[in-house]
Amino acid sequence: MANELQRRDSLFDNLMNMRNFFDDGFFPTQSTDYMKSDIAEDNNGYHVKIDMPGFDKKDIHVNYADGILTVSGHRDTFDDHTNKNGDIVQSERRYGQMSRSYRLPDVDLAKVSAKYNDGVLALELPKLTVENQNGTHIDIE
């Protein structure tokens, strides 16, 4: 029985080593290693920072609808990643259309601000106050 367990552990270790082999950079796996985000929330609103290095500000689009913030960007191909024969040796930088969505309810659209500096998109999304969440507040006597 102990030998059987040891063989299973060994098999598991071998499988994990295979996974690490295929995830060494030459065989990238699908992941969200782009548009890394930090989102903080306080009583006043949401504070969002998204890493978007290499994007032109004109190619970044921000939309908020139905409680969902969507940030997308487009980056054209890179012309500088070939060797002297024109062959790609290794390419890890992403290009094309990229997009991420975040569920952030009750945002006051009239007060949202966005800045893009040094490859980081910073968004301030104030929350709606009780008075303007439903249009008109009615007090009950």
Of 19 and 91, more confident = 91
Rounded CA Rg of the chain: 23
Predicted structure pTM score: 0.63
Of 12-16, 25-29, 39-43, where does mean pLDDT reach its minimum? 25-29
pLDDT tens-digit map of 97-140: 889 999 999 999 999 999 999 999 999 999 998 655 555 555 66
52: which residues sit within 8 A by CB, 6+ positions away?
A: 35, 60, 71, 73, 116, 119, 120, 121
Q: Are 36 and 120 in contact (CB under 8 A)?
A: no
Predicted pLDDT of residue 24: 47
Which residue shows structure tokens 């929330």? 41
Rounded percentage of the chain residues whose pLDDT exceeds 70: 56
